[in-house]
Each structure stands twice: as structure tokens, then as C-alpha cells.
Amino acid sequence: MKFIKEIFTQFQLYAISSVIVVLFVIGQFFDPAFFVAKICLFFFVLMLIFDAVLLFFTKRDLVLVRRIIPEKLSNGDENKIVIFITNNHYFKFKAEIIDELPPQFQIRDFSVKLVLSPRQEQTVTYVLSPKVRGEYTFGYTNVYLSTQIGLLSRRMRFGTGTTKVPVYPSFLQMRRYEFLAISNQLVDAGVKRIRKVGSFSEFDQIKDYVPGDNYRTINWNATARKSKLMVNQYQEERSQQIFNVIDMGRVMQMPFGGMSLLDYAINSSLILSNTALLRYDKAGLITFNQKVETFLRAERGNKTIAQIIELLYNQKTEHLESDFSYLSAFVRRNVTHRSLMVLYTNFESIASLHRQLGYLKHIYKNHVLVVVIFENTEIKTFAQADAHTLEAIYAKTIAEKFIYEKKLIVKELKNHGIHTSFTKPEDLSANLINKYLELKTMGKI
């Protein structure tokens, strides 16, 4: 019996049918072949009926399928989707799972094949990495089921066919940085250890002297009262305002690695806001284009990070050039306390910087301004490639010109006292946290 199953497993319906037809044709001239053809046809029909009864005329559900999707997906990260499939019968089945994925992924060949033993449950896990925020719709989970005979296949559909899941800014990266910050392992994510320099920031308490304490912090009045050495303990200033200012203009539409600069900026602003809140600072948000689209005052409440996530979820770029003069006037009217302003934008030429430099200087007068300059990694690849043709030399020269312009932009901003973060899009989060910690330890904010 096992031998017969293996034979039928190897042949498809069309192959067996072809053999029977050939035997019938030969049987017209050779009687024994006609007899063999009838025997084969009989066994074929018998197997076909047996296969159909197992697949289509069983009262109980042959398999049970559950697809587990997170309530929300994290943009730019690997999100796990799990499918549980259980064989609810006493026969072994072969199954092919075809999941209907959201059209944003453009994956049209997703298929998983497996063999289900009687009463067995198996787990299928796959990973999706969305590149665009918004609402994604999952379709049905299709299971094509066949027996070990393999002559017929039955399609079964599970799910509603319209499972909607929102894709939010990268909260998985935010949680990762949060965990590393709590466990004091931010170095693993590229955040540097920054030595504190200069004067201390804010008085905290008076404590007993411990060998190794800075003798300059000895409190002589407390020492005289207690008759033992007492020192002042200091901590970094708290409740400082940190604003993420995101340019929503056309310059932020440029894609890198499947994600736009806007999405990189949104993910990093979420991580920086959460880091600031962990350090007891206040986090705020400004998005602008021709006008200020979103303004969230710097706060440090329990719901602050949730508000920021919801506001960032709906941000979209426009095809117009952003109005920095409106931004400068808005900040002057609405942000009265000295704050750290992290401006996410993208200047591609020194001329485009000069058009906005006056407005950046106005913001810099009252606040600590950090301008994010994105490094064009694709142009850098062109510039580093070997050039052996006239066309390649031309492309290499243009690429080097763009790289030189970026360096001029960074230098020009530094000459006016404006801080910069010149970074690759994928390194933006770690570099901004480094800049934030550096400015904080230097007492700039």
C-alpha cells in the first residue's frame, strides 16, 4: 500500500490521464493493452473518488487556520506575521498556504508548502518590512489541501478578506533604544559615551564624601555642621524643551532604501523624543510646509509619546518648497523659552541654503538649532566608482560636485554658529542622540 501511495504521489492528474489514453489507443490494435487500460482506468476512477470523498465530503473541518497580525506595524522594521494551521483529521495532508498580502508590498508569489500529520499543528512565520506609513489591508489566507494521493486539490479560505492594519512610525526602534537606555547599553546602537566637561548643571543634594568625589564640590558649611566631609551632588538640568521640526516640502520626498527622507525623519524624531522624555526633558513637535501643519507644545506627560506617534502617523510631503520665513515667525511667537530645535530638511545646493539662511539665523538667536543634513549615499557610490568611459567620467564629476556642495553647506552653517548633523539616513537616529547628549553635557541647553 505504501508503494502504491508513493507512485500516485509522483504523478499528477494529467500524467495519469495521458497514460490511460495511450493504452486505449494501443488497445484498438492489441487486445491485452485494451484490458490493461480498463484496469488502469478502474483504479484511477477509484482513487479519484476516494480522494474526492476525503477532501470534499467530510463533515468536519479538515484544517483550522489562524493568522496573527500585530494591531499595528512598525514602519521600516521587520514585523512578524504568524499563521497557525492545524490538521483536524486522521489522515495526512499536503498543504500550500498562499496569504494575500497588502498591495503596498507588491509580493505576488508568497507560498509556503508543508505536510500535516494527523492531528498536528504547525506554525508558519514570515516577516514584512513596510516602507510607507498608512493603512494596509490583508486579504484571505488561502490553503490548497491535497491528500497523499494528490489527484485533487481543495481550496479553503480563512479570514475576513479585509483585515486592516495601520503602519505607524518606527515604535520598534523606539522601544529598542528605550531598552538600551534603561540598561545603559546605548553604545550597542552607535551612541557614544560622552565625557562631561565644564561646570555642573543643577544642584541635587548634599551627601557624604566618598573617595573619588571631586574635592571642588565639598560643602564646607555642611562639613563644619556635621564634623565630617560633605559634598554637593549635581545632576543634568531637567525639563528642557526639545522640539523636532520636520520639513514637509518636496525636498523630503527623496527615497533611500525604499523609504523617503520624511519617513527617516519621522522615525528618528520619535526616537529622539522618547530619549528626551527618559531624561526628564520635554518633547514637542512642529511640522511645516507653506505653513505650520502641526504644533505640539513641549510636554513631559504620560501621554506625550502617544500624542507624538498619532501626529506623525498622518504626515505627508507636498510638492511645494517650504516657507522658512513662516516657520521663523511662528517659532518666535509660540516658543518663548530657549529650546533645542532639531530641523529635519535637505539642502542639496549652497544656493538653496542661502535662500533660507537668514531665517535659520533668526531661529538660532533664541534657540539651540541643529540642522540635519542627509548624506546622499547613492551619489557617493557614483563618485567612488571607477570611470573608464566619457559618460562614466561625466557622472563621476557631477557626483563629486554634489558631495562638495554638501560639505560647503555644513561649513557655511558652522560658520554662523548653527549646529549640524551630517548623516546617512540609516544612521540618523544614533547620530541625533549623540548630538543631543553632547549639547546637554556641554551645557548648551
For residue 150, the domain's CATH number is 2.60.40.10
Co-location of 217 and 292 in the same domain: no
User: Stretch 54-64: mean pLDDT, rounded?
Assistant: 80
Q: Single out the residue in 13, 36, 56 at which a domain terminates.
A: 56
Question: Do 329 and 281 fall into the same domain?
Answer: yes
Domain count, the chain: 4
Report yes or no: 75 and 131 within 8 Å, Cβ to Cβ.
Answer: yes
**Do 191 and 260 share a domain, yes or no?**
yes
For residue 198, the model assigns a pLDDT of 43
Pairing type for strands 141-146 and 112-116 reads unpaired
Grid cell digits, residue 420: 549640524
Question: In the predicted model, what is the mean pLDDT of the chain?
Answer: 83
Residues 268 and 375 in one domain: yes
* Cα(218)–Cα(215) distance, integer angstroms: 6
Q: Verify that 395 and 420 share a domain, yes or no.
A: yes
Q: Which residue range is the domain that position 143 belongs to?
A: 63-168
Share of the chain above pLDDT 70, in %: 83
Is residue 190 over pLDDT 60?
no
Burial of 390 (0-12, 13-18, 19+ CB in 10 A): exposed
Q: What pLDDT, in 10s, does the model give residues 113-170? A: 999 999 899 999 999 999 999 999 999 999 999 888 777 888 999 988 889 999 999 9
Q: What is the dihedral of CA 30, 31, 37, 42, to 10 degrees?
A: 170
218 secondary structure, DSSP code: B
68's CB contacts (< 8 A; 6+ apart) are 81, 82, 83, 84
CA distances from 379 to 131, 343, 375, 385 (A): 21, 23, 9, 10
State whether 37 and 72 are in the same domain.
no
pLDDT digits (tens, 9 = 90+) for 344-359: 999 988 999 999 999 9
Same-domain pairing of 68 and 135:
yes
The pLDDT, as a whole number, for residue 15 is: 58
95 and 28 share one domain = no
The whole-number average pLDDT for the span 418-431 is 90
The reply to whether 77 and 186 lie within a common domain is no
Question: Are 69 and 103 part of one and the same domain?
Answer: yes
- Of 121, 150, 168, the residue that ends a domain is 168
Task: Give the pLDDT band of residue 1 (cuts 50, 70, 90).
Answer: very low
pLDDT tens, residue by residue, 402-416: 888 889 999 999 999
For residue 187, the model assigns a pLDDT of: 52
Residue 444 pLDDT: 73
343 and 251 together in one domain: yes
Q: For residue 28, what pLDDT is reported?
A: 54
C-alpha to C-alpha distance for 18 and 250, rounded to whole angstroms: 62
Helix, coil or strand: residue 60: coil
Same domain as 302, residue 207: no
